Homo-oligomer: A and B are copies of this chain.
């Protein structure tokens, strides 16, 4: 048995969020299991949903020691209702990560991984040592570092899922919001490689420049005064009738559907029911947790759906999902390369200043946790 150290999030009954590092005992691996020394795990928006949830970060308060910090914050009463099912449970965090296999069970599959750098998904990755099944990891090419393999699943597979959805549902082109994100930059590269027209919606002139410098053809800046006209122009030129929105709150999704409807109705006879062109918006993130506002000036032929990767992979089946994973491994350093703002240790992740920085979810800023860094 090894001694582990793990970042935990706890919602207490008194409406307090408590983040801490917990020492754990890591059992020796069973025959088909391995123990991975985690060296890199990204902080994705979906991780923040579990880590800090709806806590009011202006109330952050630090205690504990430098090596075993404890952070607490107040949770608004309205939000507590949604958290009833997790009250009192100390929960591990971190969807995905990568590291080196340091122990392996007796099975040939497990033994074959000893010393290999592998990518992992399955939660609880903000931890020093992670026990999991040999079958559940993706061995990385020999020249790949854990940092390069840390974001092998969530962003790459989500970006690929968007293009798969376009093909499955028969759309011609795609609109993507928060398009300057790590995921958005991957999507630019995938769409270029696959010949899929992509309309990138960004939130600043700097982000527009970033994507244009990477060769993106259609980029519209929602902060510009002529945003809507440019959006209609790009949607009409590409024929986009499908959109993936990472923002969720506000009217951006509605504006995209309205632009699609405007493009579809150009030159058509008036119909009070709108066009027959079906327009589909998927909300896959919640960068803005406020309400989604649909202004419904886009007829009746439309759909808005929540989108999650795991059910999508289940829907396409294990073979199709495996093909996507293999493409990620093969193009790890090109199409699916991620960029990080900073690499931080477990204790550092519980520094109030650092936490506030990564919890901002600023587009293009992504933090990487290295559980081995600064370890006492």
Q: Using CB atoms and an 8 Å cutoff, list the residues of chain A in contact with chain B.
A: 46, 49-50, 53, 82-83, 85-86, 89, 91, 248-249, 251, 254, 265, 268-273, 276, 283-284, 286, 289, 291-297, 299-308, 310-311
Determine whether the beta carbon of A305 is less than 8 Å from that of B306: no
* With known contacts A276-B311, A301-B311, A311-B301, A296–B268 Cβ distance under 8 A: no
Check A53 against B272 for contact (C-beta < 8 Å): yes
> Besides the contacts A46-B272, A292-B292, A303-B304, what 12 more A-B pairs have beta carbons closer than 8 Å?
A82-B297, A85-B270, A86-B270, A89-B270, A276-B311, A283-B296, A289-B296, A292-B294, A292-B296, A293-B294, A300-B307, A302-B306
Q: Roughly how many angstroms separate A89 CA and B249 CA in the complex, as a whole number?
A: 38
The reply to whether B306 and A301 form a contact with Cβ atoms under 8 Å apart is yes
Q: B308 touching A301 by the CB < 8 A rule?
A: yes
Q: Which of B289, B293, B300 contacts A306 (CB 8 A)?
A: B300
Query: Are A305 and B302 in contact, with the CB atoms below 8 A?
Result: yes
Contacts of A311 in B (CB 8 A): 276, 301
Contacts of A270 in B (CB 8 A): 83, 85-86, 89, 91
Q: Is the CB of B308 within 8 A of A273?
A: yes
A292–B295 Cα distance when bound, in Å, is 6
Q: Write the chain B residue with the least CB distance to A83.
A: B270
CA distance A305 to B296 in the complex (A): 11
Nearest Cβ distance between residue A205 and chain B, in whole angstroms? 27
- Check A85 against B269 for contact (C-beta < 8 Å): yes
Q: Is A294's CB under 8 angstroms from B297's CB?
A: no
